[in-house]
Amino acid sequence: MKEHKQHKLKFNSFLEKIYQSDKPLIIYKVNNGYNIFTDFSKKIILNKNNLDNFFNNFKNKLYKKETDLLIGFFGYEILCNLLNINIKKQKKLNFYKGIFYKPETIIKIRKDIKVFSTKKNVSYRKYFSKTQILSPFKLNINYKKYNKIFNKFAQKIKEGDTYQIKICTKYKNRSTIDPVNFFWKLMKVNSSPESFMIRDKDFSIVSCSPETLIDKKGKNIITKPIAGTLKKNSKIKKKHALKFFMNNNKETKEHNMIVDMERSDLSRICLPGTVKILKQKYVEEYKHLFHYVTSIQGKLRKNVTLKQIIKSMMPGGSVIGCPKIRTLELLNEQEAEDRNIFTGSFGYIKFNQDMRFNVIIRSILNFKNISEVSAASGVVLESTASKEFRENFIKAKSLLELYK
């Protein structure tokens, strides 16, 4: 919130020209401000056949300057492809399965604005994308259908086929949006640690994701699973939220399962005995809700590859359920519509193979004049269909409000 105010109070004509142009760009929330990436010299569109070539981009490369990285996203489907998990025929938007960009310019927004670029002169056209709502939002699954899927998954839990599973619901409308405007509006009211925006020629993504899935520096790796959600009101403070989570059997079980699974994910790629809890069961506060969080760290084995790290950690367990592989199979048998970016991962990989990735939730995808806002909540033995259905709306609310 603080970084947003510092930026907005200081009008910058250079940035405003970029915002109101046809220039593809990425805005990424960092600890003390925002980074804008642009002037992309390379754009890699991922598919299941070129993943190995993508990971080969980082072999024998040197990290000499801040533009020595690729930044972008893995969609849900390509992460399933990476794990050799099939997805049945679904209703598709035919959106990209993943895209990574090589930036030549980074603009750092802190107390001041600094530009790091390999380019001297760049021209671009002035262009303004007007927000227009062409049809009202509709939910892709009504409560009756949701309840039917919920009961099927509840039965699978009773049979021991899975322990927890996340059902995705999707709000959709026909619209054009100004993603830069949406992003800064969202940061004003709901600035989350892993927020980002991508604007390209034919699509945009706006996200206030709160969850860090991978933070790798050298051989050290950290993940920060979020499992537990409580709707805010004027009477509930952070300390009350923590007490609620700690005394709630359903939330505690759900949290423990996800933490154990992500510890297991880390253990596959880390040295024995190095996977440890950094900070256990604390609360993070957002506009409409509180989250229950644990931070876990490990030390990577000597010869672990980028591909092995991605395969082990993605998709993030907190937005899928556990055990991961069987739960993914069950989800893909039941969900009639593709998830696209939702529960994929956005982030960067530097040429020295340091990386940071989030879990793509709380996000808007706009493609072919269609906006999608997806949310997911968990089925465990103690949960009810009505409560989880309502929770999905709470999670999507701050994004839906941008269209008002």
Q: Check which CATH number belongs to the domain holding 62 and give it.
A: 3.60.120.10
CA 332, 176, 75: angle at the middle one, nearest 5?
25
The per-residue pLDDT for 274 is 98
Residue 370 forms part of a structural domain: yes
Residue 290 forms part of a structural domain: no
Report the pLDDT averaged over residues 210-232: 92
Digit-coded pLDDT (tens) for 2-32:
444 444 445 678 888 899 888 999 999 998 8
Q: Omega into 179 within 30° of 0, i.e. cis?
A: no
Query: Structural domain of residue 153, as residue ranges?
Result: 2-223+338-403
Residue 250 forms part of a structural domain: no
Strands of 46-190 (E only): list them.
69-74, 98-109, 113-117, 132-133, 138-139, 164-176
The per-residue pLDDT for 6 is 45
Digit-coded pLDDT (tens) for 46-76:
999 999 999 999 988 899 999 999 999 999 9
The per-residue pLDDT for 11 is 63
Confidence grade of residue 276 (pLDDT, cut at 50, 70, 90): very high
Residue 181 forms part of a structural domain: yes
Query: How many angstroms separate the Cα of 313 from the Cα of each of 167, 303, 394?
Result: 20, 17, 27
Write the single-letter amino acid at 382: E
Count of domains forming the chain: 1
Q: Which residue has the higher pLDDT, 208 or 191?
A: 208
Of 325, 356, 324, 357, nearest to 341 (Cα)? 357
The per-residue pLDDT for 9 is 40
The per-residue pLDDT for 17 is 87
The per-residue pLDDT for 4 is 46
* Phi, psi torsion values for 218, nearest 5 degrees: 65, -125
Residue 198 forms part of a structural domain: yes
Residue 379 forms part of a structural domain: yes
Query: How many angstroms separate the Cα of 390 from the Cα of each of 128, 146, 173, 351?
Result: 36, 11, 20, 43
Residue 316 forms part of a structural domain: no
Residue 297 forms part of a structural domain: no
Q: Which residue has the higher pLDDT, 6 or 129?
A: 129
Query: How many angstroms separate the Cα of 318 from the Cα of each of 60, 315, 334, 360?
Result: 34, 9, 19, 11
* Phi, psi torsion values for 246, nearest 5 degrees: -65, -30
Distance between CA 158 and CA 163 in Å, rounded?
A: 8
